[in-house]
Amino acid sequence: MDPMSAFPKVDSAVARRVLEMVRGCTFDDFILAPRRSVLERRDPAVIDLSCRLSRRLTLKRPIVSANMDTVTRAPMAIVQAEEGGIGIVDRGFRAGEIEPQVREVEIVKRTQHGVITDPYSVSPTATLDEAVSTMARSRVGTLVVLDENRRLQGLLTERDVRFVDRKGTHVADRMTPLASLVVHRGPLDLEAAERLMVERKIKKLPLVDDGGVLTGLITARDLLRRRRMPFATRDERGRLRVGAAIGATGDYLERASELVRAGVDVIVIDIAHGHSIVMERAIAQFRKRFGDVEMIAGNVATAEGARFLLERGADGIKVGIGPGGGCTTRMTTSFGVPQVQALVECRMAVADSGAGVIADGGIKRHGAIAQALLFGGDCTMLGSAFAGTTEAPGEVVQKSVLLPEQQKSVKVPFKVLRGMASLQAIRDRLDVEDADKVEIDALGAEGMEISVPARGSARPIVRDMIKHLCSSVSYGGASSLAELRRMFWADPEAFLIKQSPSGRRESYERTI
């Protein structure tokens, strides 16, 4: 693991002092004192913000989109991974409905590649109709043509089938045959592939082994995307990374097994109260069945809770009981821990074990990201911040909003954000047709449904967050996130200002 991405070692006496300061507090209770800046420019392309997500996974940007059914499905996960973070696909599909969640993961894994090891293929003896329907189904414009032993025979593109009388025509009649293709035998790194493609002026480069069997396909489009997105979170094969959530009961093991098969990079065992016997059993079963598959567990908000998950083998700990925007746990149960206290406690517990701390929930302004990352989060998870965006699932609904000054109402587009423990989300997850009405009514809701204005793509929002985080690094007198963290924990009192109620109003409340 790159040392830049690791949280610095925190001296336990210093941590105890900070814990005293932050007991009962959350982000808005603090403001950070500015230090002499050492940066000429706050350039996100230069300032290192890399961080840990979990034991073996790192991110170049410390942003994770929450596993909520109104936040993360494939489109959100793709944007997050392209921008250097990661999305966790929610499990808000009905019990037993595993395939729709798996499909979301597959879409992300197929979006960008280095080498495509399993490109869509067609047989030379197939009809053009069959080839066209494979193209339509897979939404790819080029098929590799393989014989029954997976030996490369040619390439078939959309152009080869356009304006052609398909009746009685076979793939072999229209494909570009092997003899006319540029093909590379043996493995090839991406830089060499790029050189070859420029030299031979080709857009597709198939790779084969000594027997002519296809081993992969490299496309100019994927190489271009790699260039344009240098911070993207990718796996060893160049595909975007994605996580997916499962529960701790019911179909969770079967769900995990299908998600792992689809190439998911990390499984998040997510329940409202992760410090529980239900979680203990789930982790034990998970480890027994899936060995060392990367796994994050949560949520917890105390040192004891974090140690509990760590000792049972979690690679990452999701921290946050009740801070979330769509969450009512604290109101309905009076249990929870203010998020800054929770982060410091959990950081102390996780220490240098190598596991990641994900600061989950309660980030309402961009500046709180820097605080979450200083107080103990390796990275941050956000839900409401991405609600209402184009990539968030859900329909746009037009609502009438009264403009009191003009004495008229206008139609404004909204999308819904709902807590995963809201009655509406729970109802959708259960098969309501079969569920006992009494059973549904007996469920205590710990979340709510709110309308948020529809507001364009999540991509510029992530980019703004990153720019603002770079500004925080600069205000703190550091040149990278890692350095800011080291400086903060070397002398936390030099940074931390606990605010009076009027100080807080001056800092974070604006009425005009």
Residues that bind ligand XMP in the complex, under the rule CB under 6 A: 66, 68, 272, 299, 320, 322, 324-327, 329, 360-363, 381-385, 419-422, 446-447
The minimum distance between CB 418 and ligand XMP, in angstroms, equals 7
With respect to ligand XMP, which residue has the nearer C-beta, 260 or 363? 363
With respect to ligand XMP, which residue has the nearer C-beta, 300 or 420? 420
Q: How far apart are CA 285 and CA 396, in angstroms?
A: 40
With respect to ligand XMP, which residue has the nearer C-beta, 325 or 377? 325
> Which listed residue (91, 255, 429, 485) is catalytic?
429
The minimum distance between CB 87 and ligand XMP, in angstroms, equals 11
> Which listed residue (25, 327, 346, 470) is catalytic?
327
Sheet strand arrangement including 449-453 = 397-403, 408-418, 449-453
In degrees to the nearest 10, what's the CA dihedral of 385, 388, 390, 393?
A: 100
Phi, psi of 248 (to 5 degrees): -125, 5
- 83 near 462, Cβ under 8 Å? yes
With respect to ligand XMP, which residue has the nearer C-beta, 410 or 440? 440
- 251 near 235, Cβ under 8 Å? no
Which residues have a Cβ under 8 Å from the Cβ of 272 and sit 6 or more positions away? 299, 321, 329, 421, 446
Give the number of other CB atoms < 10 A from CB of residue 199: 9
The minimum distance between CB 271 and ligand XMP, in angstroms, equals 10
* Distances in whole angstroms, Cα of residue 44 to Cα of each of 37, 59, 178, 468: 16, 14, 45, 9
505 in active site? no
The minimum distance between CB 127 and ligand XMP, in angstroms, equals 49
With respect to ligand XMP, which residue has the nearer C-beta, 222 or 360? 360
429 in active site? yes
DSSP SS3 for 163 = coil
The minimum distance between CB 295 and ligand XMP, in angstroms, equals 17
Give the number of other CB atoms < 10 A from CB of residue 171: 23
The minimum distance between CB 326 and ligand XMP, in angstroms, equals 5
Give the 3-state DSSP-derived string for 328-360, with helices as H, strands as E and coil as C: CHHHHHCCCCCHHHHHHHHHHHHCCCCCEEEEE
Residue with the shortest CB distance to ligand XMP: 447
With respect to ligand XMP, which residue has the nearer C-beta, 382 or 487? 382
* Chain centroid to CA 230: 17
Report the catalytic residues: 327, 429
